């Protein structure tokens, strides 16, 4: 697949299944993520891979970290428990924000986000499906603590990776001109 086709045709795929993602495929996804733009070479990103039975344990964390989870209807509890089971591999993208005189926290978060996008593109190029999810659990301090995050770390998202169960949906082409304006240089 041509690189520009990957960049212009990739779509998120939510319906994923096994077989498991191979070690070589996982390594390629992480390699792609590590090539993201990174001001001052801080390397702010790190990743946790969750597969097999660990996905069920992650679901338990999602449930138990939810405020007043015992009062949730059974179907909502089950949805939280089953969330990590939607794909054979869940990659937790984490940003380690570091103090730096020239690289603000926002740029470090953007670097991790760019890494996630590279990972999604690499999955597509490998013929895999992937989707970047976040939601309340990504911003829940109890989830962060259960996953062993340090005080300067935050979850950027959960990347679900697997083999597509469905044909990717057709996404309408966007008109570039609707998103670009030529700026005419003017002085103050």
Q: Per the annotation, does 111 bind a ligand? A: no
Concatenated DSSP letters of 111-129? HHHHHHHHHHHHHHHTT-E
Q: Per the annotation, does 133 bind a ligand? A: yes
Q: Per the annotation, does 39 bind a ligand? A: yes
Q: Per the annotation, does 134 bind a ligand? A: yes
What is d(CA 42, CA 45) in angstroms, rounded to the nearest whole number? 9
Q: Is 75 exposed, middle or buried (0-12, 13-18, 19+ CB in 10 A)?
A: exposed
105-125 vs 23-33: helix crossing angle, rounded to 10: 140
Q: Per the annotation, does 2 bind a ligand? A: no
Residue list for the binding site for FMN: 10-12, 35, 39, 132-134
Binding-site residues, in ranges, read 10-12, 35, 39, 132-134
């Amino acid at each position: 697949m041509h690189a520009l086709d990957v960049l212009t045709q990739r779509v998120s795929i939510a319906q994923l299944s096994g077989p498991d993602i191979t070690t070589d495929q996982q390594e390629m996804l992480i390699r792609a993520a590590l090539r993201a733009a990174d001001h001052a070479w801080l390397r702010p990103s790190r990743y946790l891979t969750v597969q097999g039975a660990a996905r069920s344990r992650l679901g338990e964390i999602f449930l138990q970290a939810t405020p007043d989870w015992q009062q949730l209807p059974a179907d909502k509890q089950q949805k939280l428990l089953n969330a990590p089971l939607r794909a054979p591999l869940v990659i937790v993208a984490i940003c380690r924000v570091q103090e730096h005189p020239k690289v603000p926290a926002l740029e470090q978060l953007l670097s991790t986000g760019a890494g996630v996008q590279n990972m999604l593109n690499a999955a597509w190029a490998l013929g895999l499906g992937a989707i970047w999810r976040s939601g309340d659990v990504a911003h829940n301090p109890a989830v962060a603590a259960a996953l062993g995050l340090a005080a300067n770390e935050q979850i950027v998202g959960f990347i679900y990776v697997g083999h597509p169960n469905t044909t990717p949906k057709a996404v309408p082409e966007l008109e570039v001109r609707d998103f670009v304006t030529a700026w005419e240089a003017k002085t103050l």
